[in-house]
A and B are shown apart, each in its own frame.
Chain A
Amino acid sequence: MSTTSPSLMRADRSRALLVRRQVADRLATGFGWVAMAVVVWMLGSILWTLLRNGLPGLSVHLFTRSMAPPGQDGGLANAIVGDILQTGLGVLLGAPAGLLTGIFLAEYGADSKLARMVRFVSDMLLSAPSILIGLFIYMIMVAPFGHFSGFSGGVALAILAMPIVVRTTEDMLRLVPVSMREAGIALGAPKWRVILFICLRAVRGGVMTGILLAVARVAGETAPLLFTSLGNSEWSLDMSRPMASLPVAIYQYAGSAYQDWMEQAWSGALLVTVGVLVINIVVRVGTRGGRT
């Protein structure tokens, strides 16, 4: 009677194992809940801060008047328009380039040496610091001509928008089932038609998501514009001259010591954030809630 039977020992061990497994599961579950709560809390805190500080300053003047020295009741109209123009130019240049590159990677390059290089470089650009893009454009488009311009801002934003579109386009095209391509080819369609009108169309939701995400990303960019379009406190639609943009105006105002500038910075911040978030929400609702 000094030794327990092997079967009892096994039962003991398996119970201990079960407890250990359950404890590990509970711990992981608890950790998951805490992590989720922290992330949601952070978003809540940011939105609450923006609303509390930004709502009081929202007025019609903000949309109708250009920037003005402190105390003169200015607005952000020129910055809003400048932001739209530069973002528009950036996406107009960046999205087609990204689409074509994405098509090249998914359909033509596949695993060739060139494609692997392009993919790597595109990833490099995706994570390339945006301020360096600004510095680069400053050196090639601002310094040689001697003046800052909205065009150079738009080009800087295009370089940032492109890799996002490349990535999503390639990822999406790779999801298209081979049978769909085969069906297209069997019907006698040339490859470019199969790509553009069958594959790309099948995943247009995902590709649009990529483009809109690129819009949302560059619309709120500050760093690449600091050295390219510089900012402009006057009303200007001329893209060959320095041009205001909302984020740069916010940066300028938030660092100031004037009460009304601070208030406008918060209102501008609220505007940018709401604009960007609305695009994101539209994208996700438009693609029917995404994958979940």
Chain B
Amino acid sequence: MDIPARQNAPVSPDQAGTARSGRRTADPAFRLLVTITGVAVLVVLGAIIAVMVNGGWHAFATFGPGFLVSDAWNPVTQHFGAAAPVFGTVVSSALALLLAVPLAFGTAFWLTALAPPTVASVIGMAVQLLAAVPSIIFGMWGFFVVVPVIAHYVQPFLHHTFGHVPVLSVLVAGAPFGTGLLTAGFILAVMITPSITAVMRDVFASMPAVLRESAYGLGATRWEVMRNVVLPWSREGLVGGIVLGMGRAMGETMAVTFVIGDSNHIGWSLFAPANTIASLIALEFPESPAGSLKLASLLALGAILMAISFVTLWFSRWLLSRGENTGRRV
């Protein structure tokens, strides 16, 4: 009974006055605070880039543009180049995406369209958990579980099968160590599949149920609903998830360090030991004293890795905006 009375109670002029003056200072202050924090984010990235470029300048100045195309990495002769680790980074990430995207899409499709809700929530949780496993665990698992399997079964089998086919034989050449580009790509795929799946699933699930139901109502199969309704609707999120996974794959350090094989050579064999930029930095940093040309080279590699991430993200944004436009036209 007293609730309406309280609602109707007039606000005293005094109270109203303090509220208004508080608003006058508090609102702009809050606005300023969040804006400054936002700008601070820009400053952090700017500082990271500045530090990398500044620290790596010594290497760029010493080797010139040759730094980018040289595959040398020789601490004795003080000759360093970026080509081998860049190659390793790009190839291992590409392999990872090749394996992870279909896997993630299939899982997200299963979770949103095929599974009964109770089962889906359990399996969905399992996928989330896989995404949460720390990267060093993937490295240990890769080194102690996956590497032996690849060394004893996968590579001998592939070598036996494709060893005499002209082009493919190059891909499967090499001693069966079990480490190398394919192993790294596989571990990276396992690592990024759950995060891509999680994003895809969230995006699929966030679509208004009405759209899905109307498509089913028109007689579409589950695959057709996915292909013609869900996919076009969620293109932005999908690409976002894939880019997220790719970024993680390119910059992943610990898992790759365990299984990449640590070799600065460019080879086309999937089983050739290699290095990614991140694994090279992790492995070589302890032997790079401050001010040395080697540390400068590592920082220069860091700058290149930053640049690659930047271009990838920018490119995906561009693709996205294009996708959005065509989506609107249809």
Q: Select from chain B the residue with minimum beta-carbon distance to A250.
A: B136
Contacts A122-B41, A136-B48, A227-B285 given; does A127 touch B313 at CB 8 Å: yes
Contact of B123 among A40, A115, A140, A163 (CB under 8 A): A40
Interface check B90, CB cutoff 8 A: no
Nearest-neighbour CB distance to chain A for B40, whole angstroms, equals 7
CB neighbours of B135 from chain A (8 A): 220-223
Interface check B263, CB cutoff 8 A: no
Nearest-neighbour CB distance to chain A for B307, whole angstroms, equals 11
Interface check A43, CB cutoff 8 A: yes
Stretch at the interface among A4-12, A22-30, A60-68: A22-30
Cα-based distance from A169 to B277 in the complex (angstroms):
32
Cα-based distance from A41 to B105 in the complex (angstroms):
16
Contact of A117 among B34, B42, B139, B285 (CB under 8 A): B42
Q: Select from chain A the residue with minimum beta-carbon distance to B194.
A: A39
A124 touches B310 (CB 8 A): yes
CB neighbours of B221 from chain A (8 A): 21-22, 24-25
Interface check B297, CB cutoff 8 A: no
Q: Select from chain B the residue with minimum beta-carbon distance to A162.
A: B41
Contact of A247 among B52, B136, B252 (CB under 8 A): B136
Using a Cβ–Cβ cut-off of 8 Å, how many residues does chain B contribute to the interface with A? Answer: 97
A43 touches B130 (CB 8 A): yes
Stretch at the interface among A176-184, A185-193, A236-244: A185-193
Cα-based distance from A188 to B124 in the complex (angstroms):
42
Nearest-neighbour CB distance to chain A for B122, whole angstroms, equals 10
CB neighbours of B226 from chain A (8 A): 28
SS of B interface (majority): helix
Interface check A292, CB cutoff 8 A: yes
Interface residues of A in 222-242 (CB under 8 A from B): 222-223, 226-227
B103 touches A35 (CB 8 A): yes
Interface residues of B in 24-43 (CB under 8 A from A): 26-27, 30-31, 33-35, 37-42
Interface check B73, CB cutoff 8 A: no
Cα-based distance from A220 to B139 in the complex (angstroms):
12
Nearest-neighbour CB distance to chain B for A187, whole angstroms, equals 11
CB neighbours of A85 from chain B (8 A): none
Cα-based distance from A247 to B110 in the complex (angstroms):
34
Interface residues of B in 238-293 (CB under 8 A from A): 243-244, 246-248, 250-254, 258, 277-278, 281-282, 285, 290
Nearest-neighbour CB distance to chain B for A274, whole angstroms, equals 11
Which residues of B does A touch, CB under 8 Å?
A: 19, 22-23, 26-27, 30-31, 33-35, 37-42, 44-45, 47-48, 51-52, 55, 102-107, 109-111, 113-115, 117, 120-121, 123-130, 132-141, 143-145, 190, 193-194, 197, 202, 205, 221-224, 226, 243-244, 246-248, 250-254, 258, 277-278, 281-282, 285, 290, 298-299, 302, 305-306, 309-310, 313-314, 317
Q: Can you identify 30 A-B contacts, CB atoms within 8 angstroms? A: A25-B222, A36-B115, A36-B123, A39-B127, A39-B130, A39-B193, A49-B141, A49-B144, A100-B33, A103-B34, A104-B34, A104-B38, A107-B34, A125-B44, A127-B247, A129-B305, A130-B251, A131-B251, A132-B281, A140-B47, A227-B285, A247-B254, A251-B254, A254-B140, A254-B258, A266-B140, A273-B134, A280-B129, A284-B125, A292-B121
